[in-house]
Amino acid sequence: FSRLDRSRIASFNVNDGVNAALLIAKPHLRKVDVEKRLADVPSITCSPSQVNQVLLNIVTNAAQAIDKPRGSIVVTTRADGPDHVAIEIADNGMGIDAEDLPRIFDPFFTTKEIGKGTGLGLSIAYKIVNHHGGRIDVKSQVGKGSVFTVVLPIEPPAEFAAEEA
């Protein structure tokens, strides 16, 4: 992703970002079947390196949550209304306890064993998406898996562009 840093704000093809994140996450995906359902979605104006970081963090977490000999992750892109694009990352991992869901975006909160996670991945993802004027929705069921949906505007809010300029 480093070469993308040259342009802080740029037009970004979300499907290319998904493919790049999956390529970088490949070492984590050895025991995972990945299915891509990538729709023809418009490019978005964003910080490409930051959005790639969001995708990588969520895909890596999904892979680490899989507690079966063979897991699956389904990545879907789609339009979300006329002005937004959604990226959905669904896994069939262990799921998240309902009592933990409200805290998963808190800095340093982790459900992983001591020494296995910093609790920063989802916190960073949340801050980046929020900064871009988007949101992250989460649905999870213990023993069934989780679905993280990142919704980003095609054009970021004016404050974002002004801050990044």
Are 76 and 90 a contacting pair, CB within 8 Å? Answer: yes
Residue 102 has what pLDDT? Answer: 78
Which residues share a beta bridge with 84? 153
- 15 sits in which H/E element: helix 14-24
**Alpha-carbon distance 104 to 125, whole Å?**
11
Is the model's pLDDT at 94 over the cut of 70? yes
| Higher-pLDDT residue of 69, 91 | 91
Is the model's pLDDT at 3 over the cut of 60? no
Contacts of residue 41, Cβ cutoff 8 Å, sequence gap at least 6: 14, 15, 77, 78, 79, 85
Q: Nearest-CA neighbor of 98 among 136, 142, 144, 64?
A: 142
Is the model's pLDDT at 10 over the cut of 80? yes
Backbone dihedral region for residue 75 (phi beyond 0: left; psi -120 to 50: alpha; all else: beta): beta
Q: Which of 28-37, 97-106, 133-142 has the lowest mean pLDDT?
A: 97-106
Q: What is the mean pLDDT of residues 73-93?
A: 97
Residue 6 has what pLDDT? Answer: 45
> Residue 165: which pLDDT band, with cuts at 50, 70 and 90?
low
Is the model's pLDDT at 1 over the cut of 50? no
Are 38 and 74 a contacting pair, CB within 8 Å? Answer: no
